[in-house]
Amino acid sequence: MLTKSQIKLINRLKQKKFRQQEGLFVAEGIKTIKELLNSTLNLHHVYSTESFQLNKGQETIISENELKKISFLKTPNKALAVFEIPKEVDVKANKLIVALDAVRDPGNLGTIIRLCDWFGISDLVCSETTVDCFNPKVIQATMGSITRVNVKYLDLEKFLKENKTEVFGAFMDGENVYKSTLPEKGILVLGNEANGISEAVEALVTKRISIPRFGDLQATESLNVATAGAILLSEFKRS
Amino acid sequence: MLTKSQIKLINRLKQKKFRQQEGLFVAEGIKTIKELLNSTLNLHHVYSTESFQLNKGQETIISENELKKISFLKTPNKALAVFEIPKEVDVKANKLIVALDAVRDPGNLGTIIRLCDWFGISDLVCSETTVDCFNPKVIQATMGSITRVNVKYLDLEKFLKENKTEVFGAFMDGENVYKSTLPEKGILVLGNEANGISEAVEALVTKRISIPRFGDLQATESLNVATAGAILLSEFKRS
């Protein structure tokens, strides 16, 4: 049985303000919840149509109809869990890290977190204007990778100024990334979906790179930020 | 002024069945509509809060409230246009082409069409189980690239059997793509979001490739299909 106060709490967690206030976030789907249970994250509570074999105080078995009342998805997926938001860990730029400058789409952020996990990037720094990584749509898109990548929100300009390392950014006039020698450490900046890297951050980029376009002149003017990130990380790591 | 029959027609175009019956699809947003107007597509009608300077019979100026009634978006973007679905063009595998095996997510298909455009891939063949490329969410995600990539729905197994060319597919046990010699022509198959490439199509793959994973053992088990496609196309083209 779901209580009114549980329903109210979960619905509040749709909003960043309340997630920060409560220190909690929501994850949905058996597979994602299992990955999160299997990590260092602290569980608050699981609401599920099937038992996860947890301690009594940690899970509530609910009906499909009850799940519909609390799920953020159009097609709820058997279970919803509330976890504690972990403490952010400070980031040192002594390896390759990825920095996001105002990435706004939850699906893009989720895909980028998954990419970082694939390419062994342990730290992702985000401007305060980047979408919250505990947004339910981000959690959904990360497929559990959120437990393996440290995401830190900070003043991106200040961070880039303080870390004396090469800062890479993709621009149309940059050096062909396929012909560039890319180091093992540095910061790769990816920009906003509509506007790219902001002027203030661009001024801090020390190495401008570009992904060559092979289509004709009419071709698309840009790649999606997550696909551009995929190609660039692949180039950094493939050597 | 919008008429009831116009509202009804546009709402029907949310569904594939009616798009095929009417031979029409919907595109939204000034930028996307301008790209489509600038292509070989035939316009049916534009409904817009600002004039596109078209002939009288081709556009209707409407209010923000009227746009809300017909828009498929949560935040309508100034204009909605109806275009004719172009005739599909037959595909010859005498160059590099991309084949999709049951890609279901509209955002992924849109991103892959945009990627094809970027990498100069002029033909994209899709299994009949792949999401419709005239789905409004696909059109939104293509950013106009739909006008420059020929998307052909067909019996994928039959197509792969008939075309005597190398068929590439990504599998965990495939050859490291960073060390493979990749030809200028062939068919690159990308699979379903949850299940990857189907068994029937896998049997027709002649060259198994893989994208190496750099994270630790706990790392994510797969990449999103569009990001994997980005990395593979980049490898085919970078040489």
pLDDT tens, A15-31? Answer: 999 999 999 999 999 98
d(CA B54, CA B200): 49
pLDDT tens, B97-110? Answer: 999 999 999 999 99
Q: What's the full length of chain B, in residues?
A: 239
Residues of chain B with pLDDT under 50: none
**How far A212 CA sits from the closest chain B CA (Å)?**
9
Q: Is A50 exposed, middle or buried (0-12, 13-18, 19+ CB in 10 A)?
A: exposed
Q: What's the full length of chain A, in residues?
A: 239
- Tell me what pLDDT residue B204 has: 98
Angle between helical axes of A225-238 and A106-118 (0-180°, round to 10)? 10
- Tell me what pLDDT residue A100 has: 98
Percent of chain A scored above 70 by pLDDT? 98
A168 DSSP β-pair partners = A188, A207
Across the interface, of B107, B118, B224, the residue whose CB is closest to A220 is B118
CB of B211 within 8 Å of any CB in chain A? Answer: yes
Nearest C-alpha in B relative to A237: B214
Pull the structure tokens for residue A125.
Answer: 């720094």
Q: Which of A237, A4, A196, A154 is nearest to B223 (CA)?
A: A237
Contact in structure between A213 and A121 (CB atoms under 8 Å): no
- Tell me what pLDDT residue B74 has: 83
Distance of CA A95 to the CA centre of its chain: 19
Torsion of CA A168, A170, A172, A178, to 10 degrees: 80
- Tell me what pLDDT residue B218 has: 64
What domains sit in chain A, N to C, each tagged with a CATH number?
4-84 (3.30.1330.30), 96-238 (3.40.1280.10)
Residues of chain A with pLDDT under 50: none
Helices (H), B41-82: 64-70
Across the interface, of A118, A216, A229, the residue whose CB is closest to B214 is A118
d(CA A74, CA A37): 24
- Tell me what pLDDT residue A1 has: 82
d(CA A157, CA A174): 21
Which value does ipTM take for this structure? 0.91
